[in-house]
Amino acid sequence: MGRRARWLIAVLGALTPLAAGPLRLLTGSPPAPDSAPHRSPPVSDRHGSLPARLLRFALTGGSAALLQLALLTAFERLGWPGLVANGAAFVLATQFNFCASQTFTWGDRPATGGLSDRWLRYHAAVAGAALLNMAAFAVASRALPSVAAAALGIAAGAGVNFLCGDRLVFRPVSRRPVQLHPSPTDV
């Protein structure tokens, strides 16, 4: 293992306990006592506020954006053309973003229809944002370096991603009971 890898592992290991407090604030989870098993708080206590969800979305999306930019840089250094490198970086970062969104940003919302259905809805929704991302990149890359053009593409798709994620992909499950037979007062 190289010196940089050891240094990164040491830094991440040191920061992990420090990140626990801010992560509890973001998720609304109380600290679990060491002697008792951790129990998740009710859904309404964990992720209910829009500002907290937007912050988690920004952290998740920011992490995916940094991953995309790092992969873009790596692929270009391997000699890939900019548009191909950005497309591959986008696809890989999108998989990371789905996992992080599923567990962190919208982790309080159970998957309707199962995880595979949610994954398919996510990719269908992201397809529109991907077109916007790639179009912005194609236009901006004529005048800007690839990383700056990619950052513009990422920013262009962020709003679309949040709305699609919140309303279509990770939509809340209705808590109203399904009525199979009309009640006498409905007739």
Domain ranges in the chain? Answer: 50-169
Q: What is the mean pLDDT of residues 175-180?
A: 57
**pLDDT given at position 73:** 95
- What is the model's pTM? 0.60
53: closest CA among 79, 27, 91, 73? 27
* Res. 47 pLDDT band, cuts 50 70 90: very low
Region label for 102, one of left (φ > 0), alpha (ψ between -120 and 50) or beta (otherwise): alpha
Burial letters 83-105, b for 16+ CB under 10 A, else e: eebbbbbbeebbeebbebbbebb
Mean pLDDT of 20-49: 44
Q: Does residue 17 carry a pLDDT above 50?
A: no
